[in-house]
């Protein structure tokens, strides 16, 4: 059963901001060669979540994990993304779609924060 990861960020009117998620997807792909990895945006940019799910399915995914690339479990991660995923899933009833937790306070983020602080301090 082919799996997919759909990375979802907020989306921006600035193309360079949206490009960051595309770059992240590019960097993740080699680490999960058995997975389809697609980037999508909640709003303001394309592809949106429904288009991202369509792209995953078109590439053969039967299981999709939607990962909100957000720090906090706010309205977007608890209401908006699940609502859009639910609507998009109606078109793909034979595909299992789940949503992961946002980045939150994951331990490895502490290391990232400290790295960024060290970089700024040097």
How do the domains of the chain map onto residue ranges? 3-121
Give residue 106's pLDDT. Answer: 85
For the residues 45-70, what does the mean pLDDT come to? 97
CATH class of this structure's domain 3-121: alpha beta
Residue bearing the bigger pLDDT, 117 or 105 = 117
Stated pTM of the model: 0.93
Give residue 104's pLDDT. Answer: 87
For the residues 97-110, what does the mean pLDDT come to? 92
Q: Could you give the percent of the chain with pLDDT greater than 70?
A: 100
Residue 105 above 90 pLDDT?
Answer: no
Distance set, CA 15 to CA 5, 22, 35, 46, 49 (Å):
22, 11, 26, 10, 17
Residue 115 above 90 pLDDT?
Answer: yes
Give residue 122's pLDDT. Answer: 79
């Amino acid at each position: 059963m082919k799996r997919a990861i759909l990375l979802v960020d907020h989306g921006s009117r600035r193309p360079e901001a949206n490009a960051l998620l595309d770059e992240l997807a590019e960097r993740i792909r080699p680490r999960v060669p058995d997975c389809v990895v697609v980037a999508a945006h909640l709003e303001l940019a394309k592809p949106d979540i429904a288009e991202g799910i369509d792209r995953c399915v078109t590439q053969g995914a039967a299981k999709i994990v939607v990962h909100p690339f957000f720090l906090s479990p706010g309205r977007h991660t608890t209401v908006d993304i699940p609502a859009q995923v639910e609507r998009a899933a109606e078109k793909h009833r034979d595909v299992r779609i789940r949503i992961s937790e946002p980045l939150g306070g994951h331990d490895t983020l502490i290391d990232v924060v400290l790295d960024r602080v060290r970089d700024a301090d040097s």
